[in-house]
Structure 1
Amino acid sequence: MNNPSNEPTLESMSDYDTLKGEKKKIVWAVIISGLIIGSIYVIASKIFTNEGDNIPVEKSIKSIPVE
């Protein structure tokens, strides 16, 4: 198949079926760093969320203001 744009295709890549070597390490590093960043975000949101700052909202609407 002729590829005029000179971009690599999946068929021409040497590790099309399996990841090997450095690429496998990079994929695992991205996955683990995403999990770590997500965990830090969840912990920080639990620590720094102040329930006293929230405005209570009534569950039902008793009257609708009409002007």
Structure 2
Amino acid sequence: MSEPTLEDIGDYNTLKGEKKRIVWAVIIAGLLLGLVYMIAYKVYDNKAGTIPVKDTITVVPLSQNIPVR
């Protein structure tokens, strides 16, 4: 089975009919999902509820060798 060439693709230059509607539906669905995500992120992002941490990590302990079974 060979790959199709540009001459074999019937709607290479312009999309027509149902294929064009499907492409637009996918684009609009992606934009709507992005909009819903953006709104949900703005509404439910609770930065006021975060706990401030003032301790800094000064020394990281060396890892111990764990025998592999």
**CA–CA distance in structure 1, aligned partners of residues 57 and 52 of structure 2:** 18
- Secondary structure at 1:46 match in 2: helix
Select the residue among 37, 53, 58 that pairs with 1:65. Answer: 58
The percentage of aligned residue pairs carrying the same residue is 58
* Corresponding residue of 1:10: 6
Match status 1:24 vs 2:20? yes
Match status 1:36 vs 2:32? yes
**CA–CA distance in structure 2, aligned partners of residues 54 and 33 of structure 1:** 33
- Consecutive unaligned residues of structure 1, counting only runs of 5 or more, are none
**CA–CA distance in structure 1, aligned partners of residues 57 and 45 of structure 2:** 32
Give the structure-2-normalised TM-score: 0.67
**CA–CA distance in structure 2, aligned partners of residues 23 and 57 of structure 1:** 54
Deviation per CA, 1:30-56: give whole Å up to 9, x if none. Answer: 000000000000000000000123355
Measured on the aligned residues, the alpha-carbon RMSD in Å equals 2.3
Matched residue count: 59
**CA–CA distance in structure 2, aligned partners of residues 24 and 40 of structure 1:** 24
- Consecutive unaligned residues of structure 2, counting only runs of 5 or more, are 62-69
